[in-house]
Structure formats: C-alpha cells, structure tokens
Structure 1
C-alpha cells in the first residue's frame, strides 16, 4: 500500500502523527463568536478549541487549508487569503476538486500535499492568521507535527471542527467566521446557495423515503478497503438525519472513522449503492476492477457506484452538489443485495 494514501485516508492514525486522526447564516455552531469589521478596528474570534484569537485589526493576510479557503470563498470571505496548504492543484496544473471555486492561481501554494508545508514560504507571506479544519480535538489539519511549533510562532491560528458534528452546524460556523472576516452573509449568492441547499435536502429526504436502498460510503487503496462510519463523518451524519440508510461498520478501527478491510474481505458489507471516495490519492473503479472481491459486490455488478467527496466543502454551495448527486443515485438505484 502506497504510504501517501493512508496519510489521507486513515484519519485515526494521523492524530498520532500530528494532523488529526485523519460549520439561518451564522452563529448556530458550538464554540464561539467572532467580531471585527473589514474597515478596521479590533478583531476577535473564538474557535472550536475554545481558543480566542484577538488581533488589533481584521486579518489581512490569511493562509488556510485549501478546503477551508474554498468554503470561505463560497461565503465571500476569500479576498484576504494569500496562501493555501493542502491539495490545491492536480498534476496537470488544474485546480484540485477541494479548491472548489477558489482561484488557486491567485494564491501561493505552500504545500500541495500532506507534509509538504513549506515553513519558509509561509513566513515569506507575512501571515497574520492561519485557518484550518480540526478532525480531532486540538489537531490542526495538514499542519505537520514536526513543524507545528515553528508555524505557531509566525501567526495565530483558528481551527473549526470537521467531524463528529452535524454538517449544518459546521457550515454555520464557517458562515460565522466568514462574517467576522467581513463577508456579507445577506449577499444573493449566499442566500441563493442556502435556499438550494435546503431544497436539495428536502429532495434527498423524499428520495430516501421513496426508495429505501442501502448505501455504503467507502474508500479504496492498494491493499485495503475502507467502510466509513456514518456516525462520525459530518456529511454522513447529515445524510442519515435525512433518512438515508447508510451501513454502519461493526468493527471500527481506532478513531472510529471507518473499518479497514483486506482486499479479500471487501465484500463484507453488501450494499445497493456504493459512494466511493473520489480524492486523488484513493483508488477509483477502474483501479479496483482487478480485485475479485470488489468485482463481486452487488452494487459494482449493477453499476451503482457514485463518487463521494469524503472531505466535503463546508459551505452551502459546496455541500449542495453532493446532496443532489446522492439523491440522483438513490432515485435511480435498484435493490440488488
């Protein structure tokens, strides 16, 4: 198994390595409140570590994890983002899907993958704030443990939870942060995105009720097949709340994000629909085709496989297409178990 893959897939193991064991418009999340204005004056925000960051002015030079920056972009709070770290560009130079609508050519990429965080390049940007996800308490996503102290000396950080909390609450926290950074949460693009999100959610609920097929969220690597836990992943928690019948693995790995299965046991959970992790470091259907246990899965035989963004973008605009995609998959699926 390629060592680059578990760094992205096995969140529970990553906590020990220092990046974590692998949110109406604002104010609804747990953790804190933001203040300040785009025109100047003191600024403060309490993140999901219950840590209050106070500055003499609204942050002007922000460096953020790519997915975090993309979510802030969706709320209109990306004008002060000067750098990103994490998957930003594909090998062909095009934006990584995690970048969403963020123009990655207008920011400095200080590390395009885990453990590529370039501290010297980060320092050269004169950052006044770092923002990232937090999958495990206190662990800054994609901030390498062996450099975290040096990174912390350069600018304060804000971390918002990305798991164990319902999707809507996380989106609300990102909206709150965006508002504190000066975004207009009443802007038409924001309110339209929220309305579309609510419509999509209602349609998913109706589809799940009309066609109660069984769904497995999963991820593939060279040697292991991962069955994801809908009780800990924010988007899966939300899907479950809308009535989607998601399979719950019965022997979860440490950390609780998934159950890792050997290639020979990939057919342990037999679902009608597979939601397959589509991140660049994971295997896709064409890569898995030669594995006998994969080929024997009923959903694979029926061609009922749908891409799954296992690291969703925490904004209404980012989450809605995923909900719509799942709705379409459920509506068109047949029970094949």
Structure 2
C-alpha cells in the first residue's frame, strides 16, 4: 500500500492533506434530500426483502436484503454509529500516531473495527475483498469522486459490493445530517428513538443560539484557516457544509481571493496577515498543524485574533449526526458571545 506522500496529489488529495482541506475546499453541487423527522440512537429489525438507496450521485445501490456487512469512510461510519448502525471496517483517518482515536472517528470503538487505510491513498483492497462486504459508504467532496477511495484501485474496490456516496460539500449541515439519517433508516435504524430526537432538539436550540449571537455582534469577522508547514489556507465559507450553514445563520466570514479551483487562498507565512479577523477557526484534523505548533511564527502571533486569544478549533469534516453537530454550533455561539472586536 502507498501513503499519500507516494502519490501525486490530486485536487481531492490536497483537500485531504493538511491545509487544503482547511475549509472543505471542494468542487461539487450538493444533492437535496427529502425532509423527514430525524431521530435515532438505536437500530430496529429491517425488512428481509430487497434493499435499495439512491445516493447523492443519483445512483441507486441495491441488494437482495438489507446490508449488514458494511464498510465505510471513518466519518460516515461515526455518523451511522450515532444512529445505531455499526460497520465492520473503515478507511480514512481513524487512529492517531499514538494509537488513540482520530477526531473523525467520533464515538467509534476503533479497537473493534478493521482499518483498511488510515491515511490518504491507503486502502487494503485484498483485506476489503476478504471481508465479504455488502455495502461501501463514503463521502463526496467532488462530483462522483469517492472520498478516500484511491483512484488507482477504485475499479477493484467497487466490484464486490454496491456503493453509496453522500455529499459533504456545497450543502449545509442540516441537509447532510438528513441524508445520513435517510441512509441509517434504510439500514434499519430507529430514527425516532429518544436519543436522536433529543439530539435534534439540542441542535435546533444551538442553531437559534448561534443565530442570536451573530445578530448581536454583526461587526465580528471570522476567518477559516488551516495550517501546513509552508502555507496557510484561508477557505471560502460557502464551499463547506458547516461554514455555509453558519453563514446562513448570520456569521460574517473573511472572503479570500480564492485560487483557480475556487475554494481557498494559499498564503505564505510571510503574508499570513493579509486578512484581519476577530476570530480564527482552525482546522482540527490531525493532518493540519494546530495553533500550539505555530507559536514560534511571528506573523501568526501578531494576528489580532491570536493576540486576543480568540482562536478556536474548527471541525473541518463534521460527523453528520445531530449528536455531533450540536456541540459545534454551541461552541461557535459561545466564541462569538465571548469575543471582542480585535481587528
């Protein structure tokens, strides 16, 4: 197996590695979903008959019975887990170098799932086939591109089982949650279980709080950042499910002069002060440099938000369940409530 370093980075690869994913720089239009009441937290007996699910590519996955032997991208697996649907194996960031669960693993017990690949470009095709998979599920950041499914082995990976891809970009958190819930329900989840309806109520309360916070401080500007050793990435809010939704709730974002791909602007560390902001949201993924690793960079420490202590983590790839997204809204609401004008 080859790691991301051994593969010539594609546009998707840049998104996955460190900064460029910084704000979900992505390429595709999102698929809408049918509105249903959310709720889950447990699974129920699924019908034994034929199963089908139309994904966000517009493709319909079909099986003779409801798939049980499921393999999924780590973040999607974590969302399904919150609805009571367990997967057999995962691919994508699952464990950190010290063996702990990656932030994208959510509440998954990473010791109990088979890990087919832990970094970009890594996917053990032989081990996957040996599992006898009944369904492959992943995210989609670009039209028809399966997140963390390597292009060079995609054809082999897609042979053993049907696949489902769900938008993670150019959509909003509520729409993305709904689509993950739709899939979970089709797989047997009880989407009206109290755990999920309670989580949805918390999410809606958090959304109202964030809207009120943004309205109370209309002059505050938020910058969406992601750091690598050589570059600092500033992402355009409308390209990611989380920040597009925050924008809809009234949060004001710095608007970078994006590159030709249209999603983020790459700044050298000498020019990191190009944009002044009152709050900086920093990519929390293990592939990106964290704020504590930037304290030796003078241009970073001179930024108004940094001097004011108004740098907060950003969950760049949210786990799309109400349970995991409610705290994201709450944390941003509190940050805005507590923030002062710094820039």
Normalised by the length of structure 2, the TM-score is: 0.88
Matched, 1:170 2:176: yes
Distance change in 2, residues 1:181/1:108 (3 Å) = same
Match of 2:235 in 1: 228
Q: Deviations over 1:29-67 (max 9, x none)?
A: 9xxxxxx96241100000011001111000010000000
CA contact 1:226–1:259 (8 Å) conserved in 2: yes
Cα contact 1:273–1:299 (8 A) shared by 2? yes
Task: Give the aligned partner of residue 272 of structure 1.
Answer: 278
Correspondence 1:296-335 to 2 at 5 A = 296-335=302-341
- Contact 1:11-1:20 at 8 Å conserved across structures: no
Could you tell me how far 1:20 is from its partner in structure 2? Answer: 7.7
1:130-150 per-position Cα deviation (integer Å, ceiling 9, x unaligned): 000000000000000010011
Partner of 1:61: 69
Aligned length: 320
Could you report, residue by residue, the CA deviation over 1:52-110 in whole angstroms, capped at 9, with x for unpaired residues?
A: 111100001000000000011112222xx100000111122221111111112111011
Q: Which residue of 2 aligns with 1:245?
A: 252
Deviation at 1:307, TM superposition (A): 0.6
Following superposition of structure 1 onto structure 2, how do residues 186-201 of structure 1 map, counting pairs within 5 Å? Answer: 186-201=192-207
SS of match in other structure, 1:110:
strand
Residue of structure 1 equivalent to 2:131: 125
**Structure 1 unmatched ranges of 5 or more:** 30-35
Q: Is the deviation greater in 280-289 or in 216-225? A: 280-289
Q: Does 1:85 align with 2:85?
A: no
SS at match of 1:266: helix
Distance 1:321 1:67 in 2: 16
Q: Secondary structure at the match of 1:106?
A: coil
**1:201 positional shift:** 0.4
1:170 to partner: Cα distance: 1.0
Say whether 1:150 aligns with 2:165: no
SS of equivalent to 2:273: coil
Residue 203 of structure 1: which of 205, 209, 225 is its match? 209
CA deviation after TM superposition for structure 1 residue 292, in Å: 2.2
The change in CA–CA distance for 1:20 and 1:140 in structure 2 (over 3 A counts) is farther
C-alpha RMSD over aligned residues: 2.3
- Measured in 1, the distance between the counterparts of 2:307 and 2:62 equals 55
Of 52, 57, 75, 1:44 maps to 52
Structure 2 gap ranges (5+): 7-12, 37-43
Bigger shift: residues 42-51 or 255-264 = 255-264
Deviates further, 38-47 or 180-189: 38-47
Given that residues 88 and 98 in structure 1 are in contact (C-alpha distance below 8 angstroms), is that contact kept between their aligned partners in structure 2? yes
In 1, the alpha carbon distance for the partners of 2:34 and 2:81 equals 18
Distance 1:335 1:235 in 2: 23
Which string of whole-angstrom CA distances, capped at 9 and with x for unpartnered residues, describes residues 278-303 of structure 1? 11111111211222221221001111
- Using the TM superposition, name which of 56-65 and 203-212 deviates more: 203-212
1:291 aligns with 2:301: no
